[in-house]
């Protein structure tokens, strides 16, 4: 599907080219075309009977640490076989072209870094990192005793993924960075997120309040749609490369 399918208004292309600050917020949808199920996709196989929101909580982990550890181990394994898609690569190109570019993600899959983005603000952590549940410090290696979850080498507590669960505070420095980038930008792109999870979902509204142009890229409508300046209803893996090609004709062909 070439860029002729998406009609990008001249005003948007001008803002994208000339903005001194562009901020992007991504959600699970940008990884969908890489084959990573979105957070609200029906879970498959062994995990079909669980809702992610019921597993991604400290209470669920304390109630059944093995189940929650195994769920993340399964998701990490799934990530082993996936690669960044054209949408991720387009955002890496955008970072190259725009000095004032900030990429904020809710995703924990690390695909933006693998696509080449060097500055990624991870609001919800990263599934490839592990920390001690009690001490909260990152743990690089531990003795595999066969126990699940494995235990912290220094205090013996349960290890857990370094992600933000429901009911847990976001990393303060990451959220502060995301908030200031949302308030300072002229253009805010909300890509592949259902705009349901707070405080991340508040970021585009901060941008709107500071008179930014706000663009939503999502095949479906979300609570943000009615307030967005522009909505492009389609997959980010097609829309983002098309947008870059329109804005910078020397952008790699689709
Ligand atoms: C906190 C990490 C306070 C773990 C995640 C009522 C009002 C306001 C807030 C709340 C409330 N009730 C409860 C809360 C708080 C809660 C919250 O917002 N709940 C929601 C459900 C209402 N928030 C929290 O608990 C946050 N913490 O508030 O702490 C606090 C303060 C101080 C001290 C203590 C506590 C923490 C939230 C973080 C939770 N962790 N993930 C893990 O991954 O396992 S959130 C989880 O949802 C993922 O990170 C995911 O990224 C995120 C958002 O989901 P999306 O990314 O949007 O994914 P989703 O599947 O929903 O949507 C995908 C979209 O992509 C769809 O729209 C689809 O159409 C689109 N799409 C599909 N294909 C494509 C596509 N788009 C483009 N291209 C495609 N090809």
Query: pLDDT tens digits, residue range 177-232?
Result: 999 999 999 999 999 999 999 999 999 999 999 999 999 999 999 999 999 999 99
d(CA 49, CA 39): 14
Residue 192, domain CATH: 3.40.50.1220
* Average of per-residue pLDDT across 35-63: 86
Is residue 33 within 6 Å of ligand 1 at its C-beta? Answer: yes
The last residue of a domain, from among 141, 163, 185:
163
Predicted local distance difference test score (pLDDT) of residue 3: 45
User: Under DSSP, is residue 197 helix (H, G, I), strand (E, B) or coil?
Assistant: coil
- Supply the range of the domain harboring residue 155: 37-81+129-163
What total number of domains does the chain contain? Answer: 2
Mutational test site, ligand 1, from 37, 39, 54, max ligand atoms within 8 Å of CB: 39
Among residues 124, 151, 205, 210, which one is catalytic?
A: 124
Same domain, 13 and 42: no
Q: Of 163, 187, 214, which residue constitutes the final position of a domain?
A: 163
Same domain, 193 and 242: yes
| 55 Cα nearest atom in ligand 1 | 44
Which has the closest alpha carbon to 239: 84, 115, 91, 82?
91
pLDDT band at residue 254, thresholds of 50, 70 and 90?
low
Residue 240 and residue 120 share a domain: yes
Do 23 and 51 share a domain, yes or no?
no
Are 254 and 215 in the same domain? yes
Is the minimum distance from the CB of 149 to ligand 1 under 6 angstroms?
A: no
Provide CB contacts within 8 A for 214, sequence distance 6+: 188, 190, 204, 207, 208, 224, 227, 228, 229, 230
Instruction: Assess whether 48 and 23 both reside in one domain.
Output: no
The answer to whether the CB of 124 falls within 8 A of the CB of 108 is: yes
Give the confidence band of 45 by pLDDT, cuts at 50, 70, 90. confident
Q: Indicate if ligand 1 lies below 6 Å from the C-beta of 42.
A: no
Spacing, Cα 93 to ligand 1 middle (Å): 26
Q: What is the pLDDT of residues 9-28, one digit of tens each?
A: 999 999 999 999 999 999 99
Q: Which CATH number covers residue 142?
A: 3.30.1600.10
User: In the structure, what pLDDT confidence band is assigned to residue 1 with cuts at 50, 70 and 90?
Assistant: very low
What's the whole-model pTM score? 0.95
């Amino acid at each position: 599907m070439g860029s002729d399918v998406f009609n990008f208004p001249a005003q948007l292309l001008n803002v994208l080219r000339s903005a001194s600050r562009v901020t992007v917020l991504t959600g699970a949808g940008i990884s969908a075309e890489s084959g990573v199920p979105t957070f609200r996709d029906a879970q498959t196989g062994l995990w079909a009977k669980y809702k992610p929101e019921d597993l991604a909580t400290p209470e669920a982990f304390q109630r059944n640490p093995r189940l929650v550890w195994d769920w993340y181990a399964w998701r990490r394994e799934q990530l082993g076989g996936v690669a960044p898609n054209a949408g991720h690569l387009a955002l890496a190109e955008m970072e190259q072209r725009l000095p004032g570019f900030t990429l904020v993600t809710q995703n924990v899959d690390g695909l933006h870094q693998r696509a080449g983005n060097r500055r990624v603000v991870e609001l919800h952590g990263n599934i490839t990192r592990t920390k001690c549940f009690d001490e909260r410090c990152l743990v690089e290696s531990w003795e595999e005793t066969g126990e699940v979850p494995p235990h912290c080498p220094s205090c013996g507590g349960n290890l857990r993924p370094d992600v933000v669960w429901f009911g847990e505070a976001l990393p303060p420095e990451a959220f502060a960075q995301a908030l200031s980038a949302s308030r300072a930008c002229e253009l805010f792109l909300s890509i592949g997120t259902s705009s349901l999870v707070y405080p991340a979902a508040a970021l585009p509204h901060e941008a709107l309040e500071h008179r930014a142009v706000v663009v939503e890229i999502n095949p479906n409508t979300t609570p943000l749609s009615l307030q967005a300046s522009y909505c492009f209803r389609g997959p980010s893996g097609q829309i983002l490369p098309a947008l870059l090609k329109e804005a910078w004709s020397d952008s790699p062909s689709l």
